[in-house]
Amino acid sequence: MSAAAVAAPTLTQVMAQALAIERAAVERYNALADVMEVHNNRPVTELFRKLAAIETQHVQQILAHMGWKSVATAPTVWGLLDGPESVPEEHVHYLMWPWHALQLALGAEERAEAFFARLAETAADEAARRAALELRDEERVHVALVKAWLERTPEPGTDWADDPDPPRYTD
Protein backbone atom coordinates (compact mmCIF):
# COMPACT_ATOMS: atom_id res chain seq x y z
CA MET A 1 0.00 0.00 0.00
CA SER A 2 2.89 2.38 -0.30
CA ALA A 3 2.74 5.17 -2.81
CA ALA A 4 3.93 4.25 -6.25
CA ALA A 5 6.93 6.16 -7.42
CA VAL A 6 6.59 8.56 -10.30
CA ALA A 7 7.15 6.65 -13.49
CA ALA A 8 10.28 7.77 -15.27
CA PRO A 9 11.14 10.63 -12.98
CA THR A 10 13.38 13.44 -14.12
CA LEU A 11 16.16 14.85 -11.97
CA THR A 12 13.94 17.53 -10.57
CA GLN A 13 11.26 15.02 -9.78
CA VAL A 14 13.73 12.74 -8.08
CA MET A 15 15.00 15.54 -5.90
CA ALA A 16 11.49 16.77 -5.24
CA GLN A 17 10.55 13.31 -4.04
CA ALA A 18 13.60 13.19 -1.82
CA LEU A 19 12.68 16.55 -0.40
CA ALA A 20 9.16 15.40 0.27
CA ILE A 21 10.42 12.28 1.98
CA GLU A 22 12.78 14.19 4.22
CA ARG A 23 10.15 16.78 5.05
CA ALA A 24 7.66 14.08 5.90
CA ALA A 25 10.28 12.50 8.11
CA VAL A 26 10.84 15.76 9.97
CA GLU A 27 7.12 16.11 10.50
CA ARG A 28 6.75 12.52 11.56
CA TYR A 29 9.62 12.56 14.06
CA ASN A 30 8.37 15.81 15.55
CA ALA A 31 4.89 14.39 15.89
CA LEU A 32 6.28 11.28 17.56
CA ALA A 33 8.37 13.47 19.85
CA ASP A 34 5.18 15.37 20.78
CA VAL A 35 3.37 12.14 21.60
CA MET A 36 6.22 10.91 23.75
CA GLU A 37 6.47 14.28 25.46
CA VAL A 38 2.75 14.22 26.33
CA HIS A 39 3.30 10.73 27.76
CA ASN A 40 6.32 11.78 29.79
CA ASN A 41 8.86 9.59 28.03
CA ARG A 42 11.80 11.99 28.05
CA PRO A 43 14.56 9.80 26.58
CA VAL A 44 12.54 8.87 23.53
CA THR A 45 11.22 12.42 23.16
CA GLU A 46 14.80 13.66 22.97
CA LEU A 47 15.72 10.93 20.53
CA PHE A 48 12.89 11.74 18.17
CA ARG A 49 13.74 15.42 18.36
CA LYS A 50 17.31 14.55 17.44
CA LEU A 51 16.14 12.50 14.51
CA ALA A 52 13.90 15.34 13.42
CA ALA A 53 16.89 17.69 13.56
CA ILE A 54 18.95 15.32 11.45
CA GLU A 55 16.26 15.05 8.85
CA THR A 56 15.97 18.84 8.87
CA GLN A 57 19.63 18.97 7.93
CA HIS A 58 18.90 16.64 5.04
CA VAL A 59 16.14 18.97 3.92
CA GLN A 60 18.55 21.89 3.96
CA GLN A 61 21.09 19.86 2.04
CA ILE A 62 18.65 19.07 -0.73
CA LEU A 63 17.50 22.68 -0.96
CA ALA A 64 21.09 23.87 -1.17
CA HIS A 65 22.03 21.22 -3.70
CA MET A 66 19.16 22.17 -6.00
CA GLY A 67 19.35 25.87 -5.41
CA TRP A 68 15.83 26.02 -4.07
CA LYS A 69 15.41 28.99 -1.75
CA SER A 70 12.99 27.45 0.71
CA VAL A 71 10.55 24.62 1.09
CA ALA A 72 7.74 27.01 0.30
CA THR A 73 9.17 27.73 -3.16
CA ALA A 74 10.48 24.25 -3.91
CA PRO A 75 8.51 21.87 -6.10
CA THR A 76 6.01 19.83 -4.17
CA VAL A 77 5.16 16.22 -4.58
CA TRP A 78 1.96 14.86 -3.19
CA GLY A 79 0.86 11.55 -1.93
CA LEU A 80 3.73 10.33 0.15
CA LEU A 81 1.86 9.99 3.41
CA ASP A 82 2.94 6.40 3.60
CA GLY A 83 6.21 6.88 1.85
CA PRO A 84 9.27 4.89 2.68
CA GLU A 85 10.40 6.91 5.65
CA SER A 86 7.12 6.89 7.43
CA VAL A 87 7.03 5.06 10.73
CA PRO A 88 4.20 2.62 11.30
CA GLU A 89 2.16 4.11 14.11
CA GLU A 90 1.39 0.89 15.86
CA HIS A 91 5.01 0.24 16.79
CA VAL A 92 5.27 3.08 19.24
CA HIS A 93 4.48 2.60 22.89
CA TYR A 94 4.45 5.03 25.76
CA LEU A 95 7.04 2.96 27.58
CA MET A 96 9.23 2.37 24.56
CA TRP A 97 12.99 2.69 24.92
CA PRO A 98 15.32 4.72 22.70
CA TRP A 99 16.43 1.38 21.34
CA HIS A 100 12.91 0.79 19.98
CA ALA A 101 12.87 4.23 18.43
CA LEU A 102 16.14 3.59 16.70
CA GLN A 103 14.84 0.28 15.37
CA LEU A 104 11.98 2.23 13.81
CA ALA A 105 14.38 4.77 12.38
CA LEU A 106 16.51 1.96 11.02
CA GLY A 107 13.56 0.45 9.24
CA ALA A 108 12.67 3.84 7.78
CA GLU A 109 16.18 4.40 6.45
CA GLU A 110 16.33 0.92 4.97
CA ARG A 111 13.05 1.45 3.19
CA ALA A 112 14.25 4.79 1.92
CA GLU A 113 17.41 3.17 0.58
CA ALA A 114 15.34 0.60 -1.27
CA PHE A 115 13.00 3.30 -2.55
CA PHE A 116 15.76 5.31 -4.18
CA ALA A 117 17.32 2.16 -5.60
CA ARG A 118 14.01 1.42 -7.34
CA LEU A 119 13.70 5.03 -8.40
CA ALA A 120 17.12 4.83 -10.07
CA GLU A 121 15.92 1.89 -12.16
CA THR A 122 13.04 3.85 -13.63
CA ALA A 123 14.81 7.17 -13.95
CA ALA A 124 14.03 9.17 -17.07
CA ASP A 125 17.62 10.08 -17.84
CA GLU A 126 21.16 9.71 -16.65
CA ALA A 127 21.12 12.77 -14.47
CA ALA A 128 18.07 11.51 -12.70
CA ARG A 129 19.49 8.06 -12.34
CA ARG A 130 22.69 9.36 -10.85
CA ALA A 131 20.78 11.56 -8.46
CA ALA A 132 18.68 8.64 -7.33
CA LEU A 133 21.73 6.51 -6.81
CA GLU A 134 23.40 9.26 -4.80
CA LEU A 135 20.35 9.43 -2.65
CA ARG A 136 20.39 5.68 -2.25
CA ASP A 137 23.97 5.88 -1.11
CA GLU A 138 23.09 8.67 1.29
CA GLU A 139 20.44 6.49 2.84
CA ARG A 140 22.93 3.64 3.04
CA VAL A 141 25.16 5.92 5.11
CA HIS A 142 22.18 6.76 7.33
CA VAL A 143 21.50 3.08 7.81
CA ALA A 144 25.07 2.56 8.97
CA LEU A 145 24.87 5.53 11.27
CA VAL A 146 21.69 4.29 12.88
CA LYS A 147 23.16 0.81 13.26
CA ALA A 148 26.17 2.26 15.00
CA TRP A 149 23.93 4.31 17.16
CA LEU A 150 22.03 1.17 18.08
CA GLU A 151 25.26 -0.56 19.07
CA ARG A 152 25.80 1.96 21.83
CA THR A 153 22.18 2.05 22.92
CA PRO A 154 21.08 -0.26 25.72
CA GLU A 155 18.69 -2.99 24.69
CA PRO A 156 15.53 -3.27 26.79
CA GLY A 157 14.70 -6.33 28.83
CA THR A 158 11.56 -8.37 28.33
CA ASP A 159 9.60 -6.42 30.95
CA TRP A 160 10.01 -3.05 29.31
CA ALA A 161 6.24 -2.67 28.77
CA ASP A 162 5.23 -3.54 32.32
CA ASP A 163 3.25 -0.81 34.08
CA PRO A 164 1.86 -1.65 37.53
CA ASP A 165 -0.83 1.03 37.12
CA PRO A 166 -3.96 0.23 35.12
CA PRO A 167 -5.27 2.58 32.46
CA ARG A 168 -7.15 5.62 33.79
CA TYR A 169 -10.49 7.16 33.07
CA THR A 170 -10.25 10.57 31.50
CA ASP A 171 -13.64 11.76 30.19
Partner 1 sequence: MTETLCPPAARTPADYKSATKPVWCPGCGDFTVLASLTRALAALQLPPHEVAVVSGIGCSSRIPAYTACYGFHGVHGRALAAATGLKVARPDLTVVVTGGDGDGYSIGGNHFLHACRRNVDLTYIVMDNHVYGMTKGQASPTTEPDWDSKLSPGGTGVRSFHPLVIALASGATFIARGYSGDPGGTADIIAQAIRHPGFAFVEILSPCVTFRPEQRNWKQQVRPASVDRTDDAARAARRIMTDDGFNIGVLYCAERTQYPLRRERVGGAVAALESEFVL
Note whether 108 binds partner 1 by CB under 8 A: no
Among 21, 25, 36, 52, binds partner 1 (CB under 8 A): 36
Note whether 79 binds partner 1 by CB under 8 A: yes
Q: 55: closest CA among 77, 92, 87?
A: 87
Note whether 81 binds partner 1 by CB under 8 A: yes
24 or 143, CB closer to partner 1?
24
| Residues binding partner 1: number (CB under 8 A) | 44
Among 40, 64, 67, 90, binds partner 1 (CB under 8 A): 90
Encoded amino acid at 38, one letter: V
Sequence-distant (≥ 6) Cβ neighbours of residue 108 within 8 angstroms: 25, 84, 85, 86, 87
41 or 153, CB closer to partner 1?
41
Q: 86: closest CA among 51, 114, 112?
A: 112
6 or 150, CB closer to partner 1?
6
- Give, for 51, the enclosing helix (H) or strand (E): helix 42-66
